[in-house]
Amino acid sequence: MAAVYDRVALIGLGLIAGSMSLAMREAGLAGEIVGYARSPETRDTAREIGLVDHVTDSIAEAVSGADLVVLAVPVGAMGVVAEQIAPHLMPGATLTDVGSVKQAVIEAVLPHVPQDVHFIPGHPLAGTEHSGPRSGFAGLFRQRWWLLTPPEGTDPGAVERLAGLIRAMGANVEQMDAPHHDLVLAVTSHTPHLIAYTMVGVADHIKRITESEVVKYSAAGFRDFTRIAASDPTMWRDVFLQNKEAVLDILGRFTEELFVLQRAIRMGDGAHLHEYFTRTRAIRRGIIEAGQDTSAPDFGRGQGAPAGPRKDG
């Protein structure tokens, strides 16, 4: 396939950026891929494994001459990074990101974007609990959704060009406005992560259950919680702080539902529990039918990808 962009600059060299590089290389989608990471250790590792064509030691050098720049850093750092790269962005270039929150990223980044640069925020709903430059793999985005939230007035041609790159990496593309994105992700990703962190924390605090028992007797449900709770703490700290209104809204609704179930259990209301579980079970079937997971006992993990949940599904 012909290259979609001549020079792609990846700012941040973790799971998503690494997987993008490998996917673009596999399909010949970029003339050159350069990368930069704040940590010298990360840059050294990326060089050692050949993650990109060239690793730079300065962020300005990385973005210079790039017609696509991807911000793959924690959402809390997006504004600072945008300010650093703004004077070095090439006119006509596209700037995108892969953050799990969109409205806060737009508010932090857009004021720094030159008028002759196309800013198209994005979010791939794909990932694992692994992080770092060694964690990426080319198939990460296949059959996953990649959401774009371009601000009003964004050049449609620039949006379609970026969407074409994303589709060529195997993902499905959809556009939505940023506030709706943040509400959807609060339901499908952010609040479930918070609940997983909480459940693992509860197990840690119950002194009647030893740590060895938690590890030895973990049933499938708790194991899934621990996979989610193993996700990058810096990224998730920023997600909750940057999307707090939507998360608190959904968390409040979750708490109300939990009180209803508590009452049903206390009152021995088996009919209510059965009806509730039957309804929620249908959502799992819908996810499988939509091709976003499999009915295999291992949830489709271990099929050429590192084990673990979708990072921001």
The reported pLDDT for the residue numbered 227 is 77
Whether 294 maps to a domain, the answer reads: no
For the CA atoms of 4, 313, 287, 247, what is the dihedral angle to 10 degrees? -140
* pTM (two decimals): 0.80
Q: The dihedral of CA 302, 307, 308, 313: what is its sign?
A: negative
For the CA atoms of 54, 60, 66, 72, what is the dihedral angle to 10 degrees? 80
**pLDDT tens by residue, 153-206:** 999 999 999 999 999 999 999 999 999 999 999 998 888 889 888 888 887 777
CATH of the domain at 210: 1.10.3660.10
Q: What is the chain's mean pLDDT, rounded? A: 89
Q: Are residues 15 and 134 in the same domain?
A: yes
CA distances from residue 34 to 59, 60, 168, 267, 297 in whole angstroms, order as listed? 10, 12, 19, 61, 39
Q: Are residues 39 and 138 in the same domain?
A: yes
Whether 167 maps to a domain, the answer reads: yes
Q: Which residues span the domain enclosing 21?
A: 5-176
Q: Are residues 113 and 230 in the same domain?
A: no
How many whole angstroms from its chain centre is CA 51?
19
User: What are the residue ranges of helices labelled H in 206-243?
Assistant: 211-216, 220-229, 233-242
Looking at residue 236, what DSSP letter applies?
A: H
**pLDDT tens by residue, 67-96:** 999 999 999 999 999 999 999 999 999 999
Domains in the chain, number: 2
pLDDT in tens, the chain (313 residues): 789 999 999 999 999 999 999 999 999 999 999 999 999 999 999 999 999 999 999 999 999 999 999 999 999 999 999 999 999 999 999 999 999 999 999 999 999 999 999 999 999 999 877 889 999 999 999 999 999 999 999 999 999 999 999 999 999 999 999 999 999 999 988 888 898 888 888 877 776 666 667 666 666 677 778 777 887 888 889 989 999 999 999 999 999 999 999 999 999 999 999 999 988 888 888 877 877 776 665 544 444 443 333 444 4
Q: Are residues 171 and 25 in the same domain?
A: yes
The residues near 186 (Cβ < 8 Å, ≥ 6 apart) are 243, 246, 247, 249, 250
Q: Are residues 115 and 13 in the same domain?
A: yes
